[in-house]
Amino acid sequence: MQPTDILPHREPFLLVDEVTEVSPGKRARGRWKLRGDEWFFAGHFPDRPILPGVLMVESLAQLGAVAVLSDERYSGKLPVFGGIDKARFRRQVLPGEVLEMEVELSHMSARAGTGHGKAVVGGEAACEVDLMFVMVDL
């Protein structure tokens, strides 16, 4: 499945390249392949490019949105951030690496939800975060 089949995000702010598994309203798995020519690497940091942690969190949130929006109960809605808790960055992510991501939704209602996201590179933990979102009308 292509992320653009479900997500409203587009370049340069689409931070999921591939969705590999979806269980609507429950979980999603996917990848973000960092080519090295992405806009943020030029300034973060010019002599040592590193993926900003906040963009790892956003990529996990986008993947979580795939799980939410795949559930027909949320047709015509858009999940937006309501909160970010317990974000932990375990490893730097560099150009050329692939971020393997998984988001598990833990609570869903008509107006909001929560989930937990994990991102790994080469089997090594890169980021973990608890996400909260609210639903808004498109």
Question: How would residue 1 be classed by pLDDT, with cut points 50, 70 and 90?
Answer: confident
Domain containing residue 35: CATH number:
3.10.129.10
Please work out, in degrees rounded to the nearest 5, the angle formed at the alpha carbon of residue 109 by the alpha carbons of 89 and 56.
20
Contact call for residues 66 and 9 (beta carbons, < 8 A) = no
Task: Report whether pLDDT(78) > 90.
Answer: yes
Per residue in 84-123, pLDDT (tens digit) is 999 999 999 999 999 999 999 999 999 999 999 999 999 9
Q: What's the domain count of the chain?
A: 1
Q: What range does the domain containing 61 cover?
A: 3-137
The dihedral region occupied by 86, where left means phi > 0, alpha psi between -120 and 50, and beta the remainder, is left
Per residue in 122-134, pLDDT (tens digit) is 999 999 999 999 9
Q: What are phi and psi of 100, to 5 degrees?
A: -95, 125
Residue 8 CA to residue 65 CA, distance in Å, equals 10
Three-state helix/strand/coil letters over 23-70 = ECCCEEEEEEECCCCCHHHHCCCCCCCCCCHHHHHHHHHHHHHHHHHC
pLDDT at 52: 98
Task: Report whether pLDDT(138) > 90.
Answer: no
> Which residues are annotated as catalytic?
44
Measure CA 17 to chain center. 10
